[in-house]
Structure 1
């Protein structure tokens, strides 16, 4: 009987998702009908005006009618022309073009940041981060270079955050340390941002809560917040009124007609914006290579329900993104349904759940949540552990469980681990390593290639086509993707009828100037990446620290210490040689050879006169370097320390 109920529940959820998308064509048909009706009204308007003019007194159609008509046409034409700078009579540049500055998030996945500037006003969209790859050893985070914004901080009117994912809000503390500006976002996004600020001891930030549908004015810009669906609550798109026309920034979005919580994406308002006229579309490109539609989040709930039922007598561990509050809600609801307690593991998981429950975005029934240290008091069938580590991060809870380094949770044969996420590009090896380690401990592991336990939060091709078709922008710049994603998105726009001349593909640092009738690249601004190492910041391109670390990781290091008499210059003991990270040929005794070189160098330098030890140290480094390169063709770091006694 229980299995039959589960099957009915599954069919019901899948039916809801299918029904949602089956209604999409009808909705779009209504939008098209409304658009057609308004277009017909616009076409009728001149005819009605003409008819009205024919009914006017004959005096108005007399001798001066033609001149009045021409003067009116000239006036209308003059009003439509862009305002130009005063000059010497020649045609000047359009006054105050709108500049779109790309400081992150184009040609890459992560550290999203875009600034829009006009005259004396700048607004910033998102302040994200990305995580370092293997080429950046020892680095904690990577954030955009904001030196241009710092130089013009008196112009910055505010920061608009589209949603609470790390690649959009993770760098907010580093921005607000240097630029004091108000932050506008929905309540969950602000709660997550506030956690970031508290960690950096920033307590006086101006955090202003907005709701979808709200409109604000920042300098010469008017901003409207549009409700969208994503893999986190509180995601919004931005409709930005500028002196040169309206810009639509999609944020991260998908079209989910059966969302777990909250409302559907506001396609009606998006269609209205399209009818009002969109000058420029900035649209995310993450899933542009995927055909069709992104599945609804309810599909994951259906799969999880099936797995909870199938593994009723086992302990269940679910690893997912901490920020996916809708997924967390489904897990909590299923835990309550199957009479299991929920234990949280991982600092970010604890922080997000705390923030989401305080503001009402996540509801946990009383008595369901327990401390992870108390799981030993329950049977396996009574426990669900919700953990970080879905990307195989080295220090995450799931990775440490898999390697046996997490003393609060020991993985065993009666565990079912559900990895409810898909690999972020570049993380595949780490995730596979975690899965292999879990299998070695006897656990059963369920991941994306086996079950529908994850859906993307990003629009696939058909959803992108819908957005383009509803907005009908004059110009288009694809964002939020690697270069291949941007190129593919540009091609999709051309397939929908947009001219190639109206599309630009930007790189980090590019400035695009927008006027009433043109879009072109302007002068680039200072840009790049800044590396966060503890409390220090380094420019990625000019970092001597990173060059040294890379050198050390590739070739190793020789540390040589020589103790000499300050009076006579004689060596008082055998030189001490330490070699690290250097692979020596078999049977080679480089220690003895290096000691011999140090002794020989001592006889070639007047040590008593070399008060700063620079000459002796330089001689040692040069001689050892030449010897090692001649023998191995390698170039390790050589450090020589001279101790005078």
Structure 2
């Protein structure tokens, strides 16, 4: 199994007849999936998703893939292929289309419908679409695409086989092998086997659950648990799940009908996505079960069900506002039941537990994955991945979609089935398929691109570091006036602090050391304002560190009079 060296240089020119794979997101993290394929001077992009910020990304709304390495080649992009409709696979598409509006979009009916509503929000209406379904073939430039049905936690997911003169690539997207899916649409292993017989030169496989032994449980295994929650709940039931989890919403709707309850959606994305799924026939809404959220309060609590966003503890989500008791019309009462029908995305644990504690504080019974089988993964576990490797028998394997530990575990599974060449790459690491052999050829620039309000890419890691310091260590400002003629401090220092010590007298003992340090600089003829500010910063920083064991942000201002 080959591991990329951290000190890789930029890749050399792609050998004639070779295929280049450039992962720009999703390798080394769970989210912002994006992979670029280059052949014969043309590019094909598979997925363009977002990563949601964690606690160490203060003020950040979204994190995008970094496509700066192909920015000056966007005119060479044949299409953007979207494997399914989850945010971590489609969410960054509007930002890419801002840079080239006419990139053709390829995806299934539901995937493109979910994306369309997002594009309208970004005022991107005139886009080129290729709607495809399993079994379809589509030729775009030098890329011959074939689409294969795969089962996932959202309907209409597709794997894609990419045929070029360099060989065939099979990209699974996110998938699992539920043998009793709620919609009856299973992963097409017959197509996988057929492609394997033709010869898969490079197999890109979902790694998210590679560390989990066995097979991922079926979605149907949750139905009895949801039914039991409804049966045992004497008052209102609130179910929180992803706004795209059509299967889970279907189970809740069916349980509500069985227990004579009415259902309302809460959260803009939930209302929008479930409306799309219903209109396209992916969600069966029994007659009379759905009501407007504001009308639900007219019913007794034992007949109410709310389906809400916020299963990951997102601060502005409906469930978080309910837990904080600042939602417009939903207020937790003693005896309500809240069902968190989702897994915990790594990094979101603290936010989710804050919501659970907030709900429990108001008397709600909270049912979650930690105390009941209320969610199953949408990703293949180790047993399913082994099954796929034995069916496909690929020549080369590139694990994708997961943290480094997930990809290593996936690579080990491939090697155990006899795959001779497993390449472990991370974001930005370039892999070339030449003469049937895949190997790392270099690395392109590939950092995080932060979205902060309407600003895209203006926030840097340095800015986030400053924000973390402000939030954790506080802020000190120091204003000093120096007389350039006499060469002495003529006024100040005036010191103010926030988030550190609100009592300004705290700093009385450091004022004289600041004056002494500045006077010493001025006596030596150093009147450069930047150097004087650095003197103030060092003096205050050393005192604060020694006295208080803190490292606040220090903003010195030196004024010449």
TM-score > 0.5 by shorter chain: yes
CA offset digits 1:188-243 (Å, max 9, x no partner): 11122123222322222223321121111111110011111100011000011111
Partner of 1:521: 440
Q: Offset at 1:328?
A: 0.9
Q: Distance in 2 between matches of 1:289 and 1:369?
A: 40
Higher RCO (C-alpha 8 Å, min separation 6): 2
2: CA distance, partners of 1:642 / 1:369: 65
CA RMSD of aligned residues (A): 3.1
What's the counterpart of residue 280 of structure 1?
202
Shift of 1:317: 0.7
Deviations 1:230-279 (A, max 9, x none): 00011000011111111110111111222212522222222211222211
C-alpha distance in 2, partners of 1:169/1:597? 56
Correspondence list, 1:411-560, <5 A: 411-499=332-420, 502-538=421-457, 543-560=461-478
Task: Summarize the Cα distance change of 1:201–1:565 in structure 2 as closer, same or farther, 3 Å threshold.
Answer: farther
Matching of residues 2-17 of structure 1 within 5 Å:
none
Shift of 1:605: 9.4
TM-score normalised according to structure 1 size: 0.78
Q: 1:497 to 1:368 in 2, by over 3 A?
A: same
The separation in 1 between residues aligned to 2:515 and 2:38, in whole angstroms, is 65
Q: Alpha carbons of 1:588 and 1:325: their partners in 2 closer, same or farther (altered >3 Å)?
A: same
Q: 1:246 to 1:539 in 2, by over 3 A?
A: farther
SS in 1 for 2:457: strand
Aligned to 1:579: 497
Q: Which among 250, 272, 277 is matched to residue 356 of structure 1?
A: 277
Equivalent in the alignment of 2:150? 228
Q: CA deviation at 1:569?
A: 11
**Residue 105 of structure 2 corresponds to residue 183 of structure 1:** yes
Q: Is the 8 A contact 1:150 1:179 kept in 2?
A: no
Q: Secondary structure at the match of 1:369?
A: coil
The verdict on how the C-alpha distance between 1:544 and 1:287 changes in structure 2, with shifts beyond 3 A counting, is: closer
Q: Note closer, same or farther for the CA distance 1:589–1:293 as it changes in structure 2 (3 Å cut).
A: same
Following the alignment from structure 2 to structure 1, what is the Cα–Cα distance between the partners of residues 306 and 418?
50
Cα shift readout 1:504-562 (whole Å, capped 9, x = no counterpart): 1111111111123322211322212211111223378x543223223323432112346
Matched, 1:166 2:82: no
Change in CA separation of 1:257 and 1:577 when aligned onto 2, cut-off 3 Å: same
TM-score, length of structure 2 as denominator length: 0.89
Displacement of 1:367 in angstroms is: 3.6
Q: Partner of 2:146: helix, strand, or coil?
A: strand
Q: 1:118 aligns with which of 15, 39, 54?
A: 39
CA 1:367 to 1:569, structure 2 compared with 1: closer, same or farther past 3 Å?
farther
Distance in 2, Cα, partners of 1:101 & 1:469: 26
Post-superposition offset of 1:622: 4.9
Number of aligned residues: 546
| Residues in 2 aligned to 1:498 and 1:617: alpha-carbon distance in whole angstroms | 61
Aligned residue number for residue 271 of structure 1: 193
Tell me which structure has the larger Cα radius of gyration.
1
| 1:545-587, Cα deviation, whole Å (9 max, x unpaired) | 2232233234321123468999999999876532012269xx9
Which residue in 2 is equivalent to 1:398?
319
User: How far is the alpha carbon of 1:386 from its aligned partner?
Assistant: 0.5
**Are residues 621 and 512 of structure 1, via their aligned partners in 2, closer, same or farther at CA, if it must alter by over 3 Å?**
closer
Distance 1:173 1:622, change over 3 A: same
Is the partner of 1:478 in helix, strand or coil? strand
Pick one of 238, 250, 269 that aligns with 2:172: 250
2:134 matched to 1:218?
Answer: no
SS state at 1:523 partner: strand
Q: Distance in 1 between matches of 2:534 and 2:440?
A: 50
Q: Is the 8 A contact 1:420 1:447 kept in 2?
A: yes
Rounded Cα–Cα distance in structure 2 between residues aligned with 1:598 and 1:487 = 54
**Contact 2:14/2:432 (8 A) holds in 1:** no
User: How far off is 1:641 after superposition?
Assistant: 4.4
Does the 8 Å contact 2:167/2:436 carry over to 1? Answer: no
Cα pair 1:529 1:539 within 8 Å, conserved:
no
Structure 2, unaligned stretches of length 5 or more? Answer: 1-12
Residue by residue over 1:470-517, the C-alpha shift from the partner in whole angstroms, topping out at 9 and shown as x without a partner, is: 211111111111111111111111221222xx1111111111111233
Q: Quick check: 1:315 aligned with 2:231?
A: no
Give the corresponding residue for 2:181. 259
1:291 corresponding residue in structure 2: 213
Indicate the residue corresponding to 1:389 in structure 2: 310
- Say if 1:255 and 1:619 are closer, same or farther in 2 by CA, change over 3 A: closer
The answer for the alignment partner of 1:72 in structure 2 is none
Does structure 2 retain, via aligned residues, the 8 Å contact 1:329–1:363? yes
Hey, what's the Cα distance between the residues in 2 that align with 1:517 and 1:611? 66
Query: Counterparts of 1:463 and 1:419 in 2: how far apart (Å)?
Result: 26
For residues 301-353 of structure 1, the C-alpha deviation after alignment (integer angstroms, 9 at most, x for no partner) is 23212322232x32111111111111112212222332222111122212212
| 1:621 to partner: Cα distance | 4.1
Secondary structure of the residue aligned to 2:443 is coil
**Aligned partners of 1:563 and 1:642 also within 8 Å:** yes
The answer for unaligned runs of 5 or more in structure 1 is 1-91
Q: CA deviation at 1:455?
A: 1.2
Distance 1:633-1:392 versus aligned 2 partners, 3 A rule: closer
Secondary structure of residue in 1 paired with 2:442? coil
Paired with 1:350 and 1:644, the residues of 2 have a C-alpha distance of 60
Q: Tell me which protein shows more strand as a share of its residues.
A: 2
What is the distance in 2 between the residues matched to 1:307 and 1:550? Answer: 41
Name the SS for the 1:395 alignment partner. Answer: coil
